[in-house]
């Protein structure tokens, strides 16, 4: 986990232990997730392979404030990134040995299937269609689809039933697109990243951006005063950690880790350092060991 320098004192006091080093972002922030030094995994498992390799490749979003946002240098930051750092640490892999690969909504399954990444942690909704080709650990967070409009909500948009005369922007390969397609709209504009919907909103080419409430909250916070989240989520989007289909040992191991982190405070700390700067702290979800 990355903590601002000012928080280090209390982190040391409460955790009693802090592993330094591996700060990829130029010294401003320090990781506080202790990397497991001597871990043993059953031979032949993905955990053993990754531990042996000493590195892991994780797909995440690079343009979603609060969950996965890459700056000009260093690693991306956000709650998804913190989940990845926690998993790596438990595998004995330090932060600087995580290779972050940008995934957009549409390439997440292919990147897992063709081995471009070991894991995808990218505001990634667990659903049956995706489970036909990959598997999910989690959920580690429950989001819900919502709407974003220019501040002032000029069209009186309260929910997806109010979009019949409006142009709606969203992203290809997302559940947001699939879900909104069930409602009447004037048009659906598809892009490859949610941030690309902001300019069309500004120019009036689009009236509404739709995706998960927490992604919208991040974009609204990044552009203070300009946009507003309608605040009536109309779907359930349980966020999972995508991994190769059939790797049940890895999936179970990640599920065990998630549950442990819900109990021992790591999950809450990861939240508070990232999404929690804008959103209130939720209850941890129930892991779904399907
Ligand atoms: N959670 C939804 C999905 O997995 C929307 C957000 C996204 O595209 O990352 O499709």
171 lines ligand 1 (CB under 6 A): yes
Give 217's contacts (C-beta < 8 A, 6+ positions apart): 66, 229, 278, 279
Average pLDDT per consecutive 10 residues, the chain (290 residues; last block may be shorter) = 35 31 40 80 97 97 96 90 98 96 97 98 98 98 98 87 97 98 98 96 96 97 96 98 98 98 96 96 96
Decide whether any atom of ligand 1 lies within 6 Å of the 212 Cβ.
yes
Q: How many CA atoms lie within 13 A of 246 on its CB side?
A: 2
101 near 289, Cβ under 8 Å?
A: no
In the chain, domain spans: 5-143+237-277, 145-229
Quote the ligand 1 centre to 145 CA distance (angstroms): 9
Output the pLDDT for position 2: 40
Ligand 1 atom with least separation from CA of 64:
9
Q: For ligand 1, is residue 95 a contact (CB within 6 Å)?
A: no
Ligand 1 nearest-atom number relative to CA 173: 10
CATH of 5-143+237-277, one of 3.40.50.970, 1.10.3720.10, 3.40.190.10, 3.40.50.2000: 3.40.190.10
pLDDT for 32 equals 57
**Which pair of structure tokens corresponds to residue 258?**
């998630």
Matching CATH topology for 5-143+237-277 and 145-229? yes
CA 22 distance to own-chain centroid: 21
Distance 105 CA to ligand 1 centre (A): 6
Four-way CATH pick for 145-229: 3.20.20.210, 3.40.190.10, 3.30.390.10, 3.50.50.60: 3.40.190.10
Residue nearest to atom 10 of ligand 1 (CA): 174
> What does pTM read for this prediction?
0.89
d(CA 13, CA 162): 51
Cβ of residue 105 lying under 6 Å from some atom of ligand 1: yes
Largest CA distance in the chain: 60
- The finding on whether 146 has its CB within 6 A of some atom of ligand 1 is no
3-state SS, residue 242? strand
Identify the three-state secondary structure at position 30.
strand
Classify residue 164 by burial, with Cβ atoms within 10 Å: 0-12, 13-18, 19+.
exposed
């Amino acid at each position: 986990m990355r903590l601002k320098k000012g928080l280090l004192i209390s982190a040391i006091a409460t955790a009693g232990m802090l592993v330094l080093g591996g700060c990829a972002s130029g010294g401003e922030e320090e990781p506080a997730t202790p990397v497991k030094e001597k871990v043993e995994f059953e031979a032949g498992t993905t955990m053993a392979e990754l531990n042996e390799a000493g590195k892991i490749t994780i797909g995440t979003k690079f343009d979603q404030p609060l969950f996965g946002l890459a700056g000009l240098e260093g690693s991306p930051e956000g709650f998804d990134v913190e989940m990845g750092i926690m998993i790596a640490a438990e595998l004995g892999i330090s932060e600087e040995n995580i290779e972050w690969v940008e995934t957009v909504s549409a390439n997440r399954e292919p990147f897992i299937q063709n081995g471009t990444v070991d894991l995808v942690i990218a505001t990634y909704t667990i659903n049956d269609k995706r489970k036909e080709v990959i598997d999910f650990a989690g959920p580690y967070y429950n989001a819900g689809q919502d709407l974003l409009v220019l501040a002032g909500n000029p069209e009186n948009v309260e929910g997806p039933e109010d979009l019949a005369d409006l142009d709606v922007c969203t992203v290809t390969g997302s559940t947001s697109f699939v879900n909104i397609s069930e409602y009447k709209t004037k048009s659906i504009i598809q892009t490859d990243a949610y941030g690309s919907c902001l300019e069309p909103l500004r120019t009036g080419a689009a009236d509404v951006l739709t995706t998960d409430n927490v992604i919208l909250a991040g974009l609204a916070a990044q552009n203070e005063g300009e946009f507003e989240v309608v605040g009536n989520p109309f779907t359930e989007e349980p966020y999972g950690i995508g991994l190769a289909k059939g790797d049940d040992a890895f999936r179970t191991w990640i599920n065990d880790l998630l549950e442990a982190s819900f109990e021992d405070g790591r999950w809450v700390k990861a939240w508070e350092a990232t999404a929690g700067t804008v959103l209130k702290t939720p209850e941890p979800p129930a892991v779904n060991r399907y």
